[in-house]
Amino acid sequence: MIEGGKATSGPPLGPALGPLGLNLAQIIKDINEKTKAFSGIQVPVTVTVLDSAKKTYEIKIGTPPTSALIKKELGLESGSGNRKEKIAGDATLEQIKSIAQSKLDSMLARDLKGAVLEVIGTCVSLGVTIEGKDPIEAQRLIKSGSIGV
């Protein structure tokens, strides 16, 4: 996990890649370029050494955790800590759809509706309401078809 756009030669990259003789500065530059859109968010990064003799590698950038995307979208520092007594923020259904679309490939959901329901599930634990509604109520309304996705 690396903060978007801020990879350094320190841990965890330096100690893992330094002994392999790869161009660490170039790897860091490549990671920072690929993760700059996720500034301020922890992003999963995988560096695979393809051939240590030729010093070739591959970088795969995962999607940040759903909770991090929700917090960034709403400008939150953290969740409420106690969702029953304190609301951390309020998201629109469009914001939830946007997050669901960005995470769809890495989710268990087969369609956008399922992905939206998963993102709303994360809103439950963060104490985030959906257009003023309790997230569990919003999930129920989506499942019943009262709210279209």
84 and 134 fall within a common domain:
yes
pTM given for the model: 0.74
50 and 114 fall within a common domain:
no
In a domain, 149, yes or no: no
CA–CA distance, 70 with 77 (Å, rounded to integer): 10
46 and 19 fall within a common domain:
yes
38 and 87 fall within a common domain:
no
Single out the residue in 41, 61, 81 at which a domain terminates.
Answer: 61
57 and 113 fall within a common domain:
no
13 and 29 fall within a common domain:
yes
pLDDT band at 46 (very low <50, low <70, confident <90, very high): very high
Q: What is the pLDDT of residue 135?
A: 94
Amino acid letter, 72: K
What CATH number is given to the structural domain containing 26? 3.30.1550.10
**Domain ranges, residue 96:** 66-144
pLDDT tens digits, 83-138: 777 888 999 999 999 999 988 888 888 899 999 999 999 999 999 999 999 999 99
Cβ-based neighbours of 21, under 8 Å, separated by 6 or more: 52, 55
113 and 140 fall within a common domain:
yes
pLDDT tens digits, 53-76: 888 999 999 888 899 999 999 999
How crowded is the C-beta side of 125, counted as CA atoms within 13 Å? 8
Residue 21 clears pLDDT 90, i.e. is over it: no
96 and 26 fall within a common domain:
no
80 and 137 fall within a common domain:
yes
82 and 57 fall within a common domain:
no
Residue 44 clears pLDDT 80, i.e. is over it: yes
73 and 111 fall within a common domain:
yes
Single out the residue in 22, 38, 61 at which a domain terminates.
Answer: 61
What CATH number is given to the structural domain containing 131? 1.10.10.250
CA 66 to each of CA 4, 71, 83, 96, 144: distance values in angstroms, whole numbers, following the listed order: 15, 9, 17, 10, 24
26 and 45 fall within a common domain:
yes
Q: How many domains does the chain have?
A: 2
